[in-house]
Structure 1
């Protein structure tokens, strides 16, 4: 995805992954299955290394697993671009599943559509397989808490 003018990341992928381990340790339980691979101006790329625990009958990666990847993409974007406030929360997330995703690496290419003082709107294209075809597409909104005054 192209970089977006005026949206400069405050952290890189390694820094946000370390932050996620601190503020959201239950996400991976030390397995590192969901993580950021890249952070750039106006977006990020996140990955799910889907294995057997993510599959529903028929060998398809479950909808909740892909939904989580979409939500993590938005969370990484808000943390890296609005600031590392762990209290940013999802207020809306809509997802469309387009084709079957099988176990293996699944990437979410996330971009910020609008970053304001209290809301961030994003979309994410989730791709998988050797041909990196879209398996799901989501749009969402994160609420950014007001800046706290320091004493």
Structure 2
């Protein structure tokens, strides 16, 4: 299924990163582990800069770290395309792990499959290594809160 490419972003990757630092500071604390790399029509690219704290025994990036990357991909897509409402929440996220990943940059290529007034459906291909092999693939849904008059979107 192709991405919904007729969608125009309302925020850039840099703007989303600033917003996430403001409304979700505990995500990265003092280091920049998770970040938006690019926002484009109908999708985004996010990155996990996987370090020792993300590794399980055997030097493999942990499933929870990859799951978080998938969730952040959906969050960046919903913020950048539906608007900067920090109260958008995950309603569903399914992930399949394909290969192991080692510490280093891990990218998530996220695309919006459907963006409606109250829900956004997306998928994300998580890739790593010099050949950019898929290490995980996830699909998810975000709930978009109704627009509120006078509310601050932070």
Distance 1:95 1:123, change over 3 A: same
Q: How many residues are matched? A: 150
Moved segments of 4+, more than 2 Å: 2-6
Unaligned runs of 5+ in 2: none
CA distance in 1, matches of 2:124, 2:3: 15
**1:149 offset after TM fit, Å?**
1.9
Look up the match of 1:37: 37
Indicate whether 1:76 and 2:91 are aligned.
Answer: no
> Is the Cα–Cα contact under 8 Å of residues 10 and 81 in structure 1 kept in the other structure?
yes
CA deviation digits over 1:40-93, x for unaligned, max 9? 000000000001100000110000000000000000000000000000000000
**1:113 offset after TM fit, Å?**
0.2
CA distance in 2, matches of 1:3, 1:113: 5
Look up the match of 1:15: 15
**1:4 offset after TM fit, Å?**
4.2
Alignment TM-score, normalising by the size of structure 1: 0.96
Say which SS state the counterpart of residue 79 (structure 1) adopts.
helix
Say which SS state the counterpart of residue 22 (structure 1) adopts.
helix
CA distance in 2, matches of 1:88, 1:31: 24
Alignment TM-score, normalising by the size of structure 2: 0.94
**1:15 offset after TM fit, Å?**
0.5
**1:3 offset after TM fit, Å?**
7.1
Indicate whether 1:50 and 2:60 are aligned.
Answer: no
CA distance in 1, matches of 2:11, 2:30: 22
CA distance in 2, matches of 1:114, 1:39: 16
Say which SS state the counterpart of residue 77 (structure 1) adopts.
helix
Look up the match of 1:96: 96
> Is the Cα–Cα contact under 8 Å of residues 3 and 40 in structure 1 kept in the other structure?
no
CA deviation digits over 1:90-116, x for unaligned, max 9? 000000000011100000000000000
Distance 1:3 1:115, change over 3 A: closer
